[in-house]
């Protein structure tokens, strides 16, 4: 009974496969125009410069799978990062490991709060996280009194994320492997998909929907807190306005990676590819002779084109299916 699918159908049918092809074409074109593109330095820079986005995209994937959204992440990042920075500035703590733990705990707490308000208070995710976005960004300013924690303040700690250190890469690799396994092979991962695909059905089949939603925002908060610590380490400073408005980059990475805003559809691999495509374009523009100033313009056009093309191909496939119907 099994029909063999043609190669082309597999490719157009699978979002990940088409993203890989886009990625290969992209890299090929850039390499032709600028042969030095694939140098180890460039590659490591791509990952280092985008480590925060890539990390938080994993959490955003989970949130979007439940048909939610979290726009408070960079505020959480700033809040946790700022606390970490201040602890060092005022010499409370200099232990890198403990600083990481504290940052992660702060982020998780912020996330749990979001989850509680959304799941128990039945507040729309965008509104709840918008409120949180204001609160934690404002708190970052208030606790620091609008001042920075400078490179000298965080010296030592910044060794973890400085150029040449493997720290950020290790965190990224561990995070991606862990999420890949959890989403595909554990009950918890299945629950997230179930809640996003059909909340009512999930409830009826005995899944604790509220708990799942709270966990998802907690995970998002955890990653945002981690990203905050990482950000202080990588950029060797903490300021209250760090990564301002970058949450949209994280959402954009997910959207390009095929994560649906309506929930239930999206994968770790797709998210990774989406984030990677944005990162590569940002790196490649100057190399192929387009001013770095145009980076955002190109990025925006790509997002719009990708989502619109998706709709158009879906419509064409539907039309073909209709034409095949015998009458």
Partner 1 sequence: MAGKSGRTISATPQGGIKEKIFSWEGALILLLIAVNIFGAVLSPNYNMTNILRESPRYLAEIFMLFGMAFILVLGDIDISVGSIVCLTATMGCLVSNKGMGVGAVILVCLGVGLLCGMLNGFVATKFTELPTMIITLGTQIIFRGIAEVALGDGGSASMTDIQSIGILRAKVGPVPLSFFIVIICAIIFITVLNKTTFGRKLYAIGSNRTTAYYTGIEVQRIRFFSFSMLGFLAGLCGLFLLASTYGANTTTGNGFEMEVIAMCVFGGIATTGGKGNIIGGFIAAFIIVCLRIAFGQINMNTQLILVIIGVMLIVSVLIPAVTNAINSRKKTKKA
Partner 2 sequence: MGEDLILELKGITKIFPGVKALDNVQFQLRRGEVHALMGENGAGKSTFIKTITGVHQPEEGHIYFNGKEVSFKGTKDAQELGIAAVYQHPTSYPELTVTENIFIGHEIMKGGIIQWNEMNKEAEKLLGRLHANFKVTDEVGALTIAQQQMVEIAKALSTNAQVILLDEPTAALTANESQELYRIVDELHEEGVSIIFISHRMEDMYRLAQRVTVFRDSQYIGTYDVDGITEPELIKYMVGREITDMYPKPEVEIGEELFRLDNLSKMGFFKDVSLNVHAGEIVGLTGLVGAGRTETMEAVCGITKADSGKIILEGKELNIRRPKDAMKAGIILLPEDRQKQGLIMNWGLGTNVILPIQDELANNGFINNKKEWEIGKQYLEDVDTKAVTIFDPATSLSGGNQQKVVVAKALVQKNMKLVIMDEPTKGVDVGAKAEIYAIMGDLAKQGYGIILVSSEMAEVLGMSDRIYVMCKGRVTGCLDVEDASQEKILELAMEQSGKEVE
Name the residues that contact partner 1, by CB under 8 A: 69, 71, 117, 121-124, 126-128, 130-139, 141-142, 145-146, 240, 244-245, 248, 251-252, 255, 261-262, 291, 293-301, 303-304, 307-308, 311, 314
Which residue in this structure is represented by tokens 């982020």? 107
82, 140 Cβ separation under 8 angstroms: yes
72, 194 Cβ separation under 8 angstroms: no
Q: Which is nearer to partner 1, 133 or 269 (CB)?
A: 133
CA dist 304 and 68 (Å) reads 20
CA dist 324 and 87 (Å) reads 66
CA dist 55 and 274 (Å) reads 12
Strand partners, 238: 149
CB of 290 to partner 1, least distance (A): 10
**Which partner from the list partner 1, partner 2, none does 186 bind, CB cut-off 5 to 8 Å by kind?**
partner 2
Name 251's Cβ contacts closer than 8 Å, sequence gap at least 6. Answer: 60, 64, 69, 71
Q: Which is nearer to partner 2, 163 or 318 (CB)?
A: 318
**Which partner from the list partner 2, partner 1, none does 270 bind, CB cut-off 5 to 8 Å by kind?**
none
Q: How many residues bind partner 2 (CB under 8 A)?
A: 31
Using CB under 8 A as the binding rule, whether residue 187 contacts partner 2 is answered as yes
CB of 134 to partner 1, least distance (A): 3
Q: Which is nearer to partner 1, 101 or 308 (CB)?
A: 308
Structure tokens at 1: 């009974």
Using CB under 8 A as the binding rule, whether residue 122 contacts partner 2 is answered as no
**Which partner from the list partner 1, partner 2, none does 205 bind, CB cut-off 5 to 8 Å by kind?**
partner 2
Q: What SS3 state is found at 258?
A: coil
Q: What SS3 state is found at 238?
A: strand
Using CB under 8 A as the binding rule, whether residue 194 contacts partner 2 is answered as yes
307, 274 Cβ separation under 8 angstroms: no
CB of 187 to partner 2, least distance (A): 6
Name 229's Cβ contacts closer than 8 Å, sequence gap at least 6. Answer: 80, 81, 84, 99, 100, 103, 104
Binding residue for partner 2 (CB under 8 A) from 193, 217, 235, 272? 193
Q: Which is nearer to partner 2, 44 or 260 (CB)?
A: 260
Give contact residues for partner 2 (rule: CB under 8 A).
1-2, 184-187, 190, 193-194, 196-198, 200-207, 260, 263-265, 319, 321-323, 325-327
């Amino acid at each position: 009974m099994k029909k063999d699918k043609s190669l082309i159908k597999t490719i157009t049918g699978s979002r990940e496969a088409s993203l890989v092809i886009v990625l290969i074409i992209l890299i090929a074109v850039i390499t032709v125009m600028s042969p030095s593109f694939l140098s180890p330095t460039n590659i490591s820079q791509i990952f280092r410069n985008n480590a925060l986005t890539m990390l938080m995209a994993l959490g955003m994937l989970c949130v979007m799978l439940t048909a939610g959204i979290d726009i408070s992440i960079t505020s959480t990042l700033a809040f946790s990062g700022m606390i970490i920075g201040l602890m060092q500035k005022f010499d409370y703590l200099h232990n890198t490991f403990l600083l990481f733990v504290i940052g992660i705990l702060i982020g998780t707490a912020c996330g749990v709060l979001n989850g509680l308000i959304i799941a128990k208070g039945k507040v729309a995710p965008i509104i709840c996280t918008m409120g949180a976005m204001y609160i934690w960004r404002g708190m970052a300013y208030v606790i620091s009194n609008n001042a920075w924690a400078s490179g000298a303040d965080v010296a030592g700690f910044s060794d973890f994320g400085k150029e040449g250190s493997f720290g950020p890469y290790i965190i990224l690799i561990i995070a991606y492997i862990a999420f890949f396994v959890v989403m595909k092979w554990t009950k918890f991962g299945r629950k997230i998909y179930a809640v996003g695909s059909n909340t009512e059905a999930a409830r009826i089949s005995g899944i604790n929907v509220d708990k799942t939603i709270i966990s998802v925002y907690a995970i998002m908060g955890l990653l945002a807190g981690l990203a905050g610590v990482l950000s202080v380490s990588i950029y060797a400073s903490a300021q209250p306005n760090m990564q301002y408005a970058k949450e949209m980059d994280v959402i954009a990475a997910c959207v390009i990676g095929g994560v649906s805003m309506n929930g239930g559809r999206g994968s770790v691999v797709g998210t990774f590819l989406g984030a990677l495509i944005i990162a590569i374009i940002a790196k490649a523009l100057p190399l192929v002779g387009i001013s770095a100033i145009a980076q955002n313009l190109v990025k925006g056009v790509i997002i719009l084109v990708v989502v619109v093309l998706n709709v158009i191909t879906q419509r064409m496939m539907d039309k073909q299916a209709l034409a095949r119907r015998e009458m």
